[in-house]
Structure 1
Amino acid sequence: MGTPRGTRSTETPAEASAGAWAPAMDGSRAARVALVGVHGFGTHHLRNLERLQAAGAVELIAVADPQPPEAGSLPPSAAVYPGLAELLAATRTLDLVIVATPIQTHAPLALAALRTDADLYLEKPPVASLADFNRLCDAAAASGRSVQVGFQSLGSHALQAIEDLLADGTIGTLQGISATGRWVRDRAYYKRSRWAGKRSINGVDVVDGVATNPLAHAVATALRIAGARTTADVVSVETELYRANDIESDDTSVIRIRTVSGLPITCALTICAAESVEPCVTLQGSAGTAVFHYTEDRLSVTTEAGTSEETYGRDDLTENLLAHRNGGTPLTSPLLDSGAFMLVLEAVRTAPPPAPIGDAHVRWEGAGEAARAVVLDIESALDRAGRGHATFSELGLPWATSAPHAFSLPVS
């Protein structure tokens, strides 16, 4: 449920969910939690765990990271280890392990966590290949443990509002979905770690592309709205991958997906825009459109009657997993429901290397590590691709030298 119609919520996602979990009031034991990875997005988990610990929901027992955490960033209860193996060897009776580490480490760390009695929160993307995803699903099923994948946008209450407006025909028949992402990333972004911008490292898959990491939520959210959750919900994936930066992976791409119902989903994404704009997912209906700005939980609906807008609350995925552990509450982002997204990731992983965008079509702004590539007129290209469900080459863009690459779906 969102805010009442006609009102606008000013809560942040954390504030909106702050009262949703109160174990200290019902006498249940605080969940014993270990966090693997305390830097990068791990700092978000540290802040969230601090909030949940203050509420009596969790106790952060231990963290693991080869780079020690900053002084004062952990509660006194938390021991520090260089890796998960050392943490598990020294720690008993964990209830939850959170993995927020580089993409290529997700599979081995997740499999190790599932050999314990703890449930698992695994940051997105869950793993770096479809084969690893299948192994992880098998391990989760054998262990009987729950696995939540960190697609935070899926906790938005706006998704229920979207489901309702589709059911009541507010925008007519749904004809297509597009996801558009326009972000800015500089040279320093690709030098922050050895895996940034890599397709693989020493033969180990990384798949750090625009659709699989920085704007992965756009893809995952579009798939969820389309009802495409598992691998069985997708019949085709096409990719057209490009790069303006001197990297291995793609920074400007179109991913075109078709669901079993025949619905087209087109994700037109770049981190080479002139300026960062909130990404969005657009529902194209026969009688109107709905635009979901998922980072803000903001939904605008346009029909002949005019345009309305609401901002919704959001459920925290860690709280949702804790509530699931205590019975009854469905997981918001369960592992199996990442199957459709993993087909997209696999299509990117197995596609030809991204084609470079010629220098004549790229403008560099800034200097030194702050310099950033801007693909000329990329904003118009993304809009046209999303509206027309077309790839860049199909639009006839002068730098689009590739052709759509069709991914061969695995035979079930």
Structure 2
Amino acid sequence: MAKILPFKAVRPTRDKVSLVASRSYQTYTQAEREARLNYNPFSFLHIVNPGYKYDREITGTERYQLVRNRYLEFKEDNVFVHDEIPSYYIYKIVDRDKQVFNGIVAAASAEDYEKDFIKKHEDTIEYRERIFKDYLKTVGFNAEPVLLTYPDNQVISKIIKELQKERAEFEFTTTYRDTHYLWKLENSDIIATIQKEFEQMPTIYIADGHHRSASSYLLYKDEKEQNPNHTGLESYNQFMTFLIPESELRIHEFNRLVKDLNGLTKEEFLIQLDTIFRIENRGIMPYKPSKKHHFSMYLDGEFYSLYLRKTGYNFKTSLDALDPQILYNTILKPILGIEDLRNDIRINYINGKKDVINVKSAIDSGEYAVGFGMVPVDINEMKHIADDGLKMPPKSTFIEPKLRSGVTIYEF
């Protein structure tokens, strides 16, 4: 039932796309940001960090307007061009580990989001939704698509493979050694075929970008209410997405770091854990769990394995059986006193794509007291929780692929 539509993207010119494309602003260190802003006048970071031009930090609505100004300047200078024909954009990423991701950049329906044809599995924070909604309303564009996933489909897969035999519109390699390719799909008959395939899918799922999709939905509601001539065809009725088949989605875990033991000694903490876990000291050698409901722990210079006791915990819902939720229900909340996983400053997260040594280093530095690891959530768990209308704890999944900002832009 999902409506997946072509759109007219704003894109960098072929000769500048590698210079424009950027990671999410927050993923750069200050030194990395400064280097790109100082030496690359075409970086998309100049748009999202407009205060650089005035050598000062600018926030709030003033920043939003300046972001729009920088964006319009890029268009005026022909760094960006606006496509004339609604298209699907076939996108391929080959990462440094030779993992390949193939998908379609397209517009998804805000109404489908409202009706739950596009399913969610993660909670969002209301004030963040509204802040980003106000940002979108002022700047008038979105440059980072929401990642959606759908059941593998032979028809769509065949179309993608056939188009990829042609020369790509874009081909560039990042400093992370990921290679990105983009093809324009303008053929109306093929577009209609793909649309029909998506319409036959009862649901698709948000993999990454819950706040972006929620903010786009709020923008749709606002604009619809304020437009007496609303037709349903306006650009605010959709939001930009990157759709990939479930088999190509890569899900990593997030490790948990906690600053203290909530007033407990090491021995008192271990005794409380023993009530619900079978504990084994693994010594100084790095250890990662290999099964569901098994956890790793690093504490006071040593690794431990924690095996959930089968008689000590009941699985009443699909969420109860999720490892990040088990960790919260059995350790983080009752023993370490962390109730608000989003806002408690005592907890932090490291994505599981990084080595377990990163957890060890954070504990050994003294900044944190204990760290926990687990195996990744799988796609079926994620879908089951979404289908049940439940929400995972924050930072339950670190999902790939990650697209670059500024390669395709959706204007409202």
Q: Give the structure-1-normalised TM-score.
A: 0.25
Instruction: Give the structure, 1 or 2, with the largest relative contact order (CA under 8 Å, sep 6 or more).
Output: 2
Q: Which protein is bigger by CA-based radius of gyration?
A: 2
TM-score, scaled to structure 2: 0.25
